[in-house]
Amino acid sequence: MPKYSQDSGQISDGVNLLISILVRYPEVGAIDYDPETQTLKLTFMLSGIPSPDDFAAAKRLLIDSMAAYHLLEGLDDAISDIALSECEQVSMLKIIRDVKTLSQGEIALIITLLRDSFKNRLVTDCNDAMPEEDLLVQEELIEDMLENLKKDQAHHKLIGIREDGRVLVFNK
């Protein structure tokens, strides 16, 4: 497997985008980028299994809020999907969004809604809190890299995960 270094220019905006989202939002457990469909899949871990009614209410809130956000932003062809899978006493909430219409503001909205909907169930990485200035820099980086990815898509399937307080990104 070839080694990639930032100096060689082989690290794409896609890789940097995944890293920035995982660093900025400790609630995101994993993130996948698919260049064929031009989508990002954000995976959130929930402790325990939410009741079907709780999940349906959270899903409806997410769908309605994203639709309102898209309406306000003038987006009418956004692709999104929300699914829940269960494994023993852990649930994985997956949100798929197209890169073409996704923005950093929408990611922040999704995180806020999930925090409110699942309160203590949303698994969050226990890293040291970043200073406010660093959070704002990460948000700007995310927006810039999303814009770059919209113009010049990455050509590799990528997955970013958290492991023991670290962020890892792999080429699938």
Read off the pLDDT of residues 58-76 as tens digits, 9 standing for 90 and up: 999 999 999 999 999 998 7
Establish if 15 belongs to a structural domain: yes
Which runs of consecutive H residues, i.e. helices, occur in the chain? 13-24, 52-73, 104-118, 132-151
What's the number of domains the chain is made of?
1
149 three-class SS: helix
Establish if 41 belongs to a structural domain: yes
pLDDT at 163: 84
Establish if 1 belongs to a structural domain: no
pLDDT above 50 for 86: yes
Query: What digits encode the pLDDT tens for the residues 109-159?
Result: 999 999 999 988 999 887 666 677 788 888 899 999 999 888 876 778 999
Largest Cα–Cα separation, the chain? 50
Query: What digits encode the pLDDT tens for the residues 41-51?
Result: 999 999 999 99
What pTM did the predictor assign?
Answer: 0.87
Domain that holds residue 137: 6-171
Establish if 24 belongs to a structural domain: yes
Establish if 103 belongs to a structural domain: yes
Cα–Cα nearest to 31, from 23, 39, 41, 46: 41
Q: CB under 8 Å to 85, separation ≥6 — which residues? A: 91, 92, 94
